[in-house]
Structure 1
Amino acid sequence: MNRYSIANTTKEQREKFVANAEAINSLGAEPLTKENRALLNRYVDGEIELDDLRKKIIDKYKR
């Protein structure tokens, strides 16, 4: 299993993972959209795995 999967993490750990990713993102990438932030919150809340989240974001930009 993936080290970042919902089954292997607590909500607090997922919050920290997302905060760290957002900090790195702020160093030079575009700010997160409301839609992408909502997807990240779904991961933190244990509703969606990172692989599914990534696919949803990639599919959004393929349109």
Structure 2
Amino acid sequence: MINLDHKAQIICKKTSTLKNLRICSTVQKAKIRSQIIIRRLLQKTGSDTPSNAFRNFLNGGE
């Protein structure tokens, strides 16, 4: 799984312009959205790990 938190920190450290600030904010929002999606998928599939949840979801399992 991609470590978005680490990528967001790297981008934030390099922030020097308004455009970079917007990129930093967008990455952080995407990280939060992806965590919400993974959490919902885990609940829906009843899986213990994100990779199992995606596998179950793709195989048509509930």
TM interval, short-chain normalised: 0.3 to 0.5
Q: Which has more helix, going by share of residues? A: 2
Higher relative contact order (CA 8 A, sep 6+): 1
Q: Which protein is bigger by CA-based radius of gyration?
A: 2
TM-score w.r.t. structure 1 length?
Answer: 0.33
